[in-house]
Structure 1
Amino acid sequence: MLTAVDRHDEYLVIRSLSQKISVIKYSFHSGNVACLSKNGFLLKIINIVIAIILLFWVARELAATKETKDPYVAPPTYKVWGRGLVYDCIKKEWACVGRYAYLQCRANMKWNVSHNKPHECHIIRVYHTDLDCIMVQLYNITRNVKVDFCKEKDR
């Protein structure tokens, strides 16, 4: 059983109940551990503990990196007319939007799929002209086209 652990620069001095002293040299950067005593069992335990600590640290760093790399993308405001047909799953409305809003809707849709969330906005298609988009929009409204894609969480 260990009674004391002292840290001296890159060395750990470990005293047990029998007053045997083990000196362990460690390096957090490379994960290497070298025992300066003959106590191999203690070395194995400390090596495992250091490896577990390093794994948790790496996992935490990766999670923090993923959160900063993948920020939430809000759905567009649908204020600018265009030739891209989208469906607003929150307000339950069809909209013909411009390029920026269409691309923002696509980014929002991809973010929701990657985070297993329901769609807030769903892209349909980009038409040749604004009038073509409006015609399809009116058709979808008057024919009450099914919008089951809003319920899907993953594709």
Structure 2
Amino acid sequence: MKKVVPVILRHKNQGIDILAFHHPLAGTQLVKGTVEQAEQYEQAAIRELFEESGLIARPNPKFLGNLILRFNQQDWYFYLCEVKGELAETWQHHCQDGGGLDFRFFWYCLDQQPDDHWHETFKEALSFLRNSLTSS
């Protein structure tokens, strides 16, 4: 099963922040979702970003690479998305997935080591992003 991870970054004096959120049932995460049948990956990234965060991405997100997770062998495709305007430090979005849940969004510094609130899959994803963004 192919997954897309729409990535929103902001550059601060102390480094690069990535958009993350607290899921009320599953801990701290990045936005991620399944590519639907016959859906282009870029479109899946834009759709998932909107469904989970309410944010509208500009067309043509930049492909950052893919990662086959050690944890469960899922294939994740990362896309750098851009949105219009400045985003708040934190906000909440009511996502319809899972019967409707409130996700609390915040900025996470990529230089930090993720704590135990992050699932192993997202720790692996953060490491992949840290390496791919700093090597380019």
Does TM, scored on the shorter chain, surpass 0.5? no
Q: Which category of TM-score, normalised to the shorter sequence, fits these structures?
A: under 0.3
TM-score under structure 1 length normalisation: 0.22
* Higher CA-based Rg: 1
More strand, by proportion = 2
More helix, by proportion = 1
Structure with bigger RCO (C-alpha 8 Å, 6+ apart): 2
